[in-house]
């Protein structure tokens, strides 16, 4: 699971627990100016992930790490599809982040509020 916070002018995604091991990352910091928006999207986990490099994918269990799909780099950290949030980015290493959070609607509201103010 990930914890999403806003610190100053950055969106900070902290990977928690053993997911750090599976995702091969402990946190991501993205300037708010490069965050295009966020949506709750439990159906995204059913789509093709592309090529894993590096990361972990056990269907129905966990998708974590970096995946390449159609020329884009996407970061995943999802176990429970019902809690998946997609964060769209521009001018960043990743085109989007797909992360599981405790409360998807609250997380999307936080991101949308922060990006309106940036």
Pairing of strands 35-40, 27-31: unpaired
> Count of CB atoms within 10 A of residue 6's CB?
17
pTM for the whole structure: 0.93
pLDDT at residue 34, rounded to an integer: 97
Spatial distance between the Cα atoms of 95 and 17, rounded to a whole number of angstroms: 24
pLDDT at residue 36, rounded to an integer: 97
Each of the 118 residues of the chain gets a pLDDT tens digit; together they read 999 999 999 999 999 999 998 899 999 999 999 999 999 999 888 887 888 888 888 888 999 999 999 999 999 999 999 999 999 999 999 999 999 999 999 999 999 999 986 5
pLDDT at residue 39, rounded to an integer: 96
Domains defined along the chain, listed by start: 2-117 (2.30.29)
Strands (DSSP E) along 9-106, which ranges?
10-15, 27-31, 35-40, 51-58, 62-69, 72-78, 84-89, 96-100
pLDDT at residue 51, rounded to an integer: 83
pLDDT at residue 82, rounded to an integer: 95
Spatial distance between the Cα atoms of 79 and 20, rounded to a whole number of angstroms: 13
């Amino acid at each position: 699971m990930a914890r999403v916070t806003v610190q100053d002018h950055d969106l900070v995604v902290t990977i928690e627990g053993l997911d750090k091991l599976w995702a091969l990352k402990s946190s991501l910091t993205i300037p708010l100016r490069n965050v295009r928006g966020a949506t709750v999207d439990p159906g995204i986990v059913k789509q093709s992930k592309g090529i894993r490099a590096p990361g972990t994918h056990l269907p129905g269990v966990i998708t974590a790490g970096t995946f390449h799909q159609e020329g884009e780099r996407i970061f995943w950290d999802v176990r429970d599809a019902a809690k998946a949030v997609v964060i769209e980015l521009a001018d960043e290493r990743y085109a989007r982040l797909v992360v599981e959070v405790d409360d998807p609607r609250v997380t999307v509201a936080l991101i949308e509020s922060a990006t309106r103010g940036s």
